[in-house]
């Protein structure tokens, strides 16, 4: 089966860092609709209407739904994470009903879920981890991500093929400074404003960092593979999307210092959340067909792009006066 020229894609969560990159990378993306995430009932109503519209527009084109929504982190409280999981469940059950009602007049499609490699493998022994490693989450966040994966695969079993994409630490200049999420963005912010950054884990903690645009290209490649290599069948594939390179926090700080040409103010601190994070999160990425390597940009280049993005955001918010030396 030849690879289709375009896959009509609906990215749910296109306002977020990862979702935005996926929506931008998709060759034929369904227009994003504002979703009231804070109101569960209104959220499901909007998602249902959007899902019906999406399936109405698919016709005989190949299609893909990508769930990239969710703002939870390791520090998010359990109740909020449970609400996110219930939202995933509500959407999956609703979409299955729509697919079942249109099965005789709908072209084949794929349902993909974006998950967290760091979250689900945090307690797994002997890194680097591959997609065949046994997940062992140690935080409410990791357990929630694994539960969402199980909901996704079980809901669509026998109805639609599914793809679970477990991402390593994703970063990018599109990450908003007001959210103060992502170590790389926080390092760039501290470098620009000279405000100390509190780090709660040891500096020898190792993570795999991948730029959001590179992650989106790999995800798009995996989606295309499902159409290009065989007829779609109702099965689940799990892949790891990562750079394949481990970087310690100490090394990351040195890289940011070199990129910014200024010392990044760091303050060591203790926090209970540190016990819910792995010391070594390295991964073996799964590469789509035609990718000889993960094709991720060099980390120093990515850090420079994030730093410049932070500078632009500070200027946009009228905070340029806090940027030292700019």
Mean pLDDT of 118-126: 95
Residue 131's pLDDT is 96
State both tokens at 113.
């879920």
pLDDT band at 64 (very low <50, low <70, confident <90, very high): very high
What's the pLDDT score for residue 323? 43
Distance CA 179, CA 270 (A): 21
Q: Is 296 within 8 Å of 217 (Cβ atoms)?
A: no
Q: Choose between 92 and 272: higher pLDDT.
A: 92
Three-class SS of 166-179:
EECEEECCCCCHHH
Q: What is the dihedral of CA 316, 39, 84, 12, to 10 degrees?
A: -60
- Residue bearing the bigger pLDDT, 98 or 103: 98
Q: Can you give the pLDDT at residue 292? A: 72
Share the mean pLDDT of the chain. 88
Structural domain boundaries in the chain: 8-322
Q: Which DSSP helix (H) or strand (E) runs through 8?
A: strand 8-12
Q: How many residues does the chain have?
A: 326
Average pLDDT over residues 284-301: 86
Give dist(CA 302, CA 206) in Å, integer: 17
The pLDDT tens digits for 217-275 are: 999 999 988 876 455 666 889 999 999 999 999 999 999 999 999 889 998 776 666 66
8-322 has CATH 3.40.50.12780 classification: no
Phi and psi (nearest 5°) for 209? -105, 130
For residue 313, give every residue at least 6 positions away whose Cβ sits within 8 Å of its Cβ, in sequence order, or none.
176, 177
**pLDDT at residue 106 above 60?**
yes
Are residues 267 and 196 in contact, defined by beta-carbon separation less than 8 angstroms? Answer: yes
Report the pLDDT averaged over residues 171-183: 79
Predicted confidence at residue 3, as pLDDT, reads 44
- pLDDT at position 55 is 93
Give the contacts of 240 (CB within 8 A, at least 6 positions apart): 117, 129, 130, 131, 166, 168, 283, 284, 285, 286
For residue 11, which phi and psi values (nearest 5 degrees)? -100, 115
Q: What is the pLDDT of residue 326?
A: 38
Q: How much is the average pLDDT of 63-67?
A: 95
Average pLDDT over residues 25-29: 77
Task: Find which of 8-17, 53-62, 141-150 is predicted with most confidence, using mean pLDDT.
Answer: 141-150
């Amino acid at each position: 089966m030849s690879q289709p020229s375009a896959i009509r894609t609906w990215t749910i969560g296109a306002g977020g860092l990862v979702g935005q990159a996926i929506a931008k990378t998709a060759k034929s993306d369904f227009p994003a609709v504002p979703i009231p995430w804070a109101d569960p009932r209104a959220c499901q109503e909007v998602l249902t209407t959007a899902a019906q519209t999406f399936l109405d527009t698919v016709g005989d084109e190949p299609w893909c739904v990508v769930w990239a929504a969710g703002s939870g982190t390791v520090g998010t409280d359990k109740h909020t994470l449970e609400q996110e999981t219930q939202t995933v469940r509500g959407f999956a059950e609703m979409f299955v009903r729509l697919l079942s009602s249109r099965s005789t007049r709908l072209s084949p499609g794929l349902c993909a879920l974006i998950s967290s490699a760091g979250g689900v493998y945090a307690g797994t022994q002997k890194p680097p981890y591959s997609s065949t490693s046994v997940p062992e989450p140690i935080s409410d966040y990791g357990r929630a991500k694994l539960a969402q994966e199980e909901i996704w695969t079980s809901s669509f079993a026998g109805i639609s093929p599914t793809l679970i994409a477990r991402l390593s630490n994703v970063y990018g200049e599109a990450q908003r400074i007001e959210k103060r999420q992502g170590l790389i963005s926080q390092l760039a912010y501290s470098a620009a404003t000279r405000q100390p950054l509190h780090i709660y884990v040891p500096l020898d903690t190792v993570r795999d960092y991948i730029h959001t645009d590179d992650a989106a290209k790999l995800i798009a490649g995996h989606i295309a593979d499902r159409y290009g290599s065989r007829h779609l069948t109702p099965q689940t594939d799990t892949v790891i999307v990562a750079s394949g390179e481990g970087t310690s926090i100490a090394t990351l700080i040195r890289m940011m210092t070199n990129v910014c040409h200024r010392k990044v103010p760091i303050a060591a601190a203790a926090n209970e959340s540190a016990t819910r994070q792995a010391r070594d999160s390295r991964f073996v990425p799964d590469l789509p067909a035609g990718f000889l390597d993960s094709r991720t940009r060099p980390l120093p280049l990515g850090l420079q792009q994030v730093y410049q993005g932070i500078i632009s955001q500070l200027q946009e918010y009228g905070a340029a006066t806090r940027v030292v030396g700019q």
